[in-house]
Chain A
């Protein structure tokens, strides 16, 4: 097929999918600058705000201590990424590449954890945190994310995908297991680590229930939970809700853009035959 035609088709497909993905965002953006009455009006719809209510931005910003919320949120996200990536890389490697007694049972436990709905953990974990007097603290926020079954499984799959002969070569060179892991294998799964980092960040960032319960104090909580509280039980201020949602998206998008650049192009080894 002609390359230009092919590229054109690719771009058309990508653009169409992009539009579908973006419609809700465009609407969020427009809503963020409307009056409450405009967001409720249905007949006819107000698509573009008559007067851009730029003060909505100020209202949201002023309603809370953003600097503090960002520090809390980023500390939690950073610590969770650190814990998850470190523990999951080690365990993922062990499950993929080492043979030891008890491995199958332990891996079953890892899978089992993912099968349980998270809601059942909330109350027991809250009790642990409050017994440790970690409520309203960063460690309290990080608590359920110190290890990651999801990450372990993800990294295990990544190691499984790597050609075996790299490792064989290292072993013949006299590398011990930790040396092989640290210097040879772990760097090759960087993309998976990045993916795990992205997901850990996103899931930690979006989670409302845990920070809401563990850090009810507005000074100690995360951005997402502070924003969620802004709307009263009966008072839906849609423009401010959307403005808040937009503001809270931004750091995640930045993190994602930085991270996804780390997707390194395929490793240049001559893997063995399949």
Chain B
């Protein structure tokens, strides 16, 4: 009996779905974009429940941690402008897929974050709204107020495609408890990279290492040292690799020596447990981290109680203390239906007022010079001057070219042989330089 009921039910559903074939929208309708011109398809499209609702801006970012604070600032803007804007979050990996798909299909969000990895590609292909004239006409925005490297990053042929949102700095995080236990004074602005290596040795025992390198994250590691030593990663014209520069090689050797003498864990260990996790577990005395790690360290009861942060060491003179920095930009879609509103929002977010709020709310350090002081007090557990003071160090913008990830991935892969000691550092670096030069020639 039960079976019969089921059969009838099933057949009813089947018949219904067969009758419904024609208006089974998803199966039938998508043929339009495949075969017809895109414009035609757009006209035929049914009622919108999509992201570009008339009169409402769609804003897309990749960090949920920043959303609540930013939404507050956006709401302040909405109160002034009367235009609603909702921030949507897509995680880092999928964010780029979404933008790629959006750019290919002409459906980018109205306002979104740009990053140094891909900015060039989006600008060259006219995907971003040209903000040059609006900036010129604005009384709130003056590009001289922002850190130069970030401004330049979002420039192409003298046109500006995004306004700097934030800046990050790299600093030396350390475990006070381990320092006390081993009788080593806390790091300060007198440390050189040599002191750093020597103290790391003193801080090492069976329980913990002195320092842990992040081989996959150059900005939180050897890039700082390379530039501090006077070496370079890529030439200013982005045509030549600096990985074969003797000073670059020397800087890399600082770390390979530390791995060799055991004051830094071997590659297998750090590839399984990231250095920041080792710091949070109390397994390393020092770790070089970007300011973006702050929230993570703050929310871990152990690091909040035991750790603090100091400036990075220098090489010969405090003037060669280097922080590799990077910064996001606020950009708008070239084909946004509401360019005035999009610009108005960007202008607000990057104005002195907006940037001050961003720092006050503890979202990040701001790209507007001199607005980040409030950020220092955002987490009482740490003396964030370690990060703030790095803004006064020699700021070197994160090395990039048009297709940064191509040679960066290659470099990280090849450097493995140097960290493990399987190949001499010089040989590995020469090899990287050769391949990187070939990649750059192809760009």
On A, residues with C-beta under 8 Å from B are: 35-37, 40-43, 82-83, 86-87, 89-90, 122-123, 126-128, 130-137, 139, 142-143, 146-147, 182-183, 186-187, 190, 208-209, 212-213, 216-218, 228-237
Contacts and interface: CB of A to CB of B under 8 A. Distances in A.
A110 B48 CA distance: 32
Interface of A is mostly: helix
21 contacts: A37-B300, A40-B280, A43-B283, A86-B13, A127-B105, A130-B101, A131-B32, A133-B48, A139-B26, A182-B7, A183-B7, A187-B4, A187-B6, A190-B6, A213-B97, A216-B109, A217-B86, A218-B89, A232-B295, A235-B295, A237-B299
Contact of B45 (A127, A133, A213, A234): A133
B64 A131 contact: no
Interface size class of B (residues with CB under 8 A): 35 or more
B253 to A, nearest CB: 29
A133 B49 contact: yes
B91 interface: yes
A89 B14 contact: yes
A36 B45 contact: no
Contacts of A83: 17
Given A36-B301, A123-B97, A136 B91 contact: no
B123 to A, nearest CB: 21
Contacts of A131: 30, 32-33, 38, 41-42, 45, 105, 107
Nearest to A135: B50
Contacts of A139: 25-26
Interface of B: 3-4, 6-7, 10-11, 13-14, 17-18, 24-27, 29-30, 32-34, 38, 41-42, 45-51, 60, 62-66, 86, 88-92, 94, 97-98, 100-102, 104-105, 107, 109, 207, 273, 277, 280-283, 292-293, 295-296, 299-303
Contacts of A43: 207, 281-283
A131 B293 CA distance: 38
A235 B294 CA distance: 9
Contact of B60 (A37, A146, A216): A216
A236 B104 CA distance: 32
A40 to B, nearest CB: 4
B98 A126 contact: yes
Contact of A232 (B11, B63, B98): B63
Nearest to A236: B296
B56 to A, nearest CB: 11
A224 B104 CA distance: 26
Contacts of B100: 123
A178 to B, nearest CB: 8
Q: Which 3 A-B pairs have the closest CB atoms?
A: A127-B105, A182-B11, A37-B302
A182 to B, nearest CB: 4
A183 B11 contact: yes
Contacts of A231: 64
A213 B94 contact: yes
Contacts of B24: 146
